[in-house]
Amino acid sequence: MKELWTTMASLMGVLAFAQTLLHTVIPPELRFAVLKLFQRLFNCFSSYCYYEITEIDGVNTNELYNAVQLYLSSSASAAGATSDRLSLTRGLNSSVITFGLANNDRLSDVFNGVSVVWEHIVTPRQSQTFSWRPLPEEKRGFTLRINRRDKQPGVLENYLDFITQKADEIKRKNQDRLLYTNSRGGCLDSRGHPWESVPFKHPSTFETLAMDPVKKAEIMSDLRDFADGQAFYKRTGRAWKRGYLLYGPPGTGKSSMIAAMANYLGYDIYDLELTEVNTNSELRKLLMKTSSKSIIVIEDIDCSINLTNRNKNNTNVSDMRSGPSGPVAPGDPEHNGSNNSMTLSGLLNFTDGLWSCCGSERIFVFTTNHIEKLDPALLRSGRMDMHIFMSYCSFPSLKILLKNYLGCDADDIGKEVLGDLAAVIDEAEMTPADVSEVLIKNRRDNDRAVKELLALLKKKMVDRRLRTVGEMEEVAEEEEKRALDSPKEVGGAATGGGGDDVEVDYKIGGEDEEDNGII
């Protein structure tokens, strides 16, 4: 045994000596050429093709390297359970940890039925070549191995395109969303930007959103189709944007829905405060400074701008600010050539006109508690593609809230109580916000929470019934009164009253649309 070790040590010594001799006698260029020759010979007989993607391309960062790294991070995290070693990173502005291949580790992948192997190669950098910025001490790169028989034309290009697209998605998902606001009025920041941003950390998701599951699935699928629809929008010649109108009573989850949309798609939110915008051109500038993959929100649109009465004289926001008795503009600035106030027509151009297309993949969301107050032009399809009614708490929504706040499934509550809740929930007309309040307050005691909620729902239901009876009595009284007076009024109503009303309503709608040139 001792002899064996002695022989091994001598052999190692000879090898080390030979290597030093080789390095001294043979110049590095020749060594490199010989190595290349061997590599070529090996490649000729190998059944694989190899592609190298280095981290630094010359002196520039290779974007493809970063994309591959991100793409592989999703596969690596899946393989995490089986792999012994993975590298972990967290990027700037990100709260998410990403997995990566550790040095010289391998990972297999399959794309369109083609199996490939990625290897992460890290070697010390030999010498610092001159460059305007210091290069990292290690040379990092990925080697992609593809079987020769799978090397069909276009396969590699398609695979790399797929990787780049996936990497973009992952980057967006990992990065914190931003919430922008224009609440500084027309003031610009030091970079000349009209929007101010803060990290957006709203935890609302479609999972936690209490609404009818069928409706929810429909909205999610619509959003997904939109986000994946670049080719569709290009083919059909449509601008890549979509409008959603969320309407319903306060506290039914309109803001929560917007947050869920942003979190689902990984989009930033631009919360447009219309009352801070003075002119149409200001609005246009704001639009130009929004980025793609974003949701532009105008909350409570009925309160922001006068949208009911699109008369030429009173449609601008400044009038709204001055109150009903405030100054009346001399005419619709969109039509008299002036551009010194903000009008409904300006807003419609913002969402629908040529300027709305300066960017792509953008969603417009308007919310209102009073849809009946909105101008029909705003509701027209093409402007607001989907009208989503956020309703009072229904039974399916209640089940989601019980899960959110009490952490229990409907079955855990007991059949009898569940039946009682189901019997009263619709008629009680309670908002998800009010239901949430009761559940939050009693979240440490599930039984108490459910009992208190049931009692409140019953009370609301009774109140509503009484209100309805009261209203019916009032109507009956009025009808009775009218019946008594009817011999005098029949003539008047028949000759003008009711008929005129209908005609005027109809006319106002039609004339306004044409006069303002909006539709």
Ligand X SMILES: Nc1ncnc2c1ncn2[C@@H]1O[C@H](COP(=O)(O)OP(=O)(O)OP(=O)(O)O)[C@@H](O)[C@H]1O
Ramachandran sector of residue 328 (left: φ over 0; alpha: ψ -120 to 50; beta: rest): beta
User: Minimum distance from CB of 290 to ligand X (Å)?
Assistant: 22
User: Minimum distance from CB of 248 to ligand X (Å)?
Assistant: 6
Is residue 439 near ligand X by the rule CB under 6 A? no
User: Minimum distance from CB of 220 to ligand X (Å)?
Assistant: 14
Q: Could you tell me where the DSSP H helices lie in 89-245?
A: 155-174, 213-227, 230-236
Number of residues that bind ligand X (CB under 6 A): 16
If the CB atoms of residues 31 and 201 are measured against ligand X, the closer one turns out to be: 201
User: Minimum distance from CB of 208 to ligand X (Å)?
Assistant: 6
Please choose, from the candidates 191, 212, 391, 356, the residue with its C-alpha nearest in 3D space to the C-alpha of residue 270: 356
- Give the DSSP H/E element, type plus range, for residue 368: strand 362-368
Q: Which amino acid is at 354?
A: L
User: Minimum distance from CB of 404 to ligand X (Å)?
Assistant: 7
Could you report how far apart the first and last alpha carbons of the chain are, in Å? 97
If the CB atoms of residues 116 and 259 are measured against ligand X, the closer one turns out to be: 259
- Give the DSSP H/E element, type plus range, for residue 118: strand 114-124
* Residue 317 contacts residue 304 (beta carbons within 8 Å): yes
If the CB atoms of residues 312 and 387 are measured against ligand X, the closer one turns out to be: 387
The stretch among 24-32, 247-255, 275-283, 510-518 that binds ligand X (CB under 6 A) is 247-255
Instruction: Work out which of 243, 251, 346, 359 binds ligand X, going by CB under 6 A.
Output: 251
Within residues 115-144, the interface with ligand X by CB under 6 A covers none
If the CB atoms of residues 301 and 347 are measured against ligand X, the closer one turns out to be: 301
If the CB atoms of residues 284 and 399 are measured against ligand X, the closer one turns out to be: 399
Q: How many CB atoms lie within 10 A of CB 327?
A: 10
Only one residue has tokens 């440490």, namely 444
Is residue 209 near ligand X by the rule CB under 6 A? yes
User: Minimum distance from CB of 493 to ligand X (Å)?
Assistant: 39
User: Minimum distance from CB of 391 to ligand X (Å)?
Assistant: 9
Instruction: Work out which of 177, 242, 254, 362 binds ligand X, going by CB under 6 A.
Output: 254
Instruction: Work out which of 116, 146, 210, 261 binds ligand X, going by CB under 6 A.
Output: 210
The stretch among 31-39, 177-185, 235-243, 245-253 that binds ligand X (CB under 6 A) is 245-253
Is residue 341 near ligand X by the rule CB under 6 A? no
Is residue 304 near ligand X by the rule CB under 6 A? no
Is residue 438 near ligand X by the rule CB under 6 A? no
- Alpha-carbon Rg for the chain, nearest whole angstrom, is 34
d(CA 86, CA 98): 10
d(CA 454, CA 351): 44
User: Minimum distance from CB of 101 to ligand X (Å)?
Assistant: 40
Is residue 211 near ligand X by the rule CB under 6 A? yes
If the CB atoms of residues 250 and 326 are measured against ligand X, the closer one turns out to be: 250
The stretch among 141-149, 432-440, 454-462, 491-499 that binds ligand X (CB under 6 A) is 432-440
d(CA 363, CA 308): 24
Q: Which residues, 6+ apart, have CB-to-CB distance to 357 below 8 Å?
A: 239, 241
d(CA 247, CA 390): 6
Instruction: Work out which of 433, 441, 452, 513 binds ligand X, going by CB under 6 A.
Output: 433
Q: How far is CA 397 from CA 8, 251, 376, 402, in A?
A: 76, 13, 30, 9
464-496 core/surface letters (b: 16 or more CB in 10 A; e: else): eeeeeeeeeeeeeeeeeeeeeeeeeeeeeeeee
User: Minimum distance from CB of 260 to ligand X (Å)?
Assistant: 9
Within residues 366-395, the interface with ligand X by CB under 6 A covers 369, 390
Is residue 253 near ligand X by the rule CB under 6 A? yes
Q: How far is CA 43 from CA 37, 47, 53, 192, 515, in A?
A: 10, 8, 18, 55, 75
Is residue 256 near ligand X by the rule CB under 6 A? yes
Q: Is 443 in a helix, a strand, or coil?
A: coil
User: Minimum distance from CB of 179 to ligand X (Å)?
Assistant: 14
Is residue 436 near ligand X by the rule CB under 6 A? yes
Instruction: Work out which of 199, 250, 499, 510 binds ligand X, going by CB under 6 A.
Output: 250
Is residue 359 near ligand X by the rule CB under 6 A? no
Only one residue has tokens 């989009």, namely 267
* Residue 54 contacts residue 64 (beta carbons within 8 Å): no
Within residues 56-75, the interface with ligand X by CB under 6 A covers none
Contacting positions for ligand X (CB under 6 A): 208-211, 250-256, 369, 390, 432-433, 436
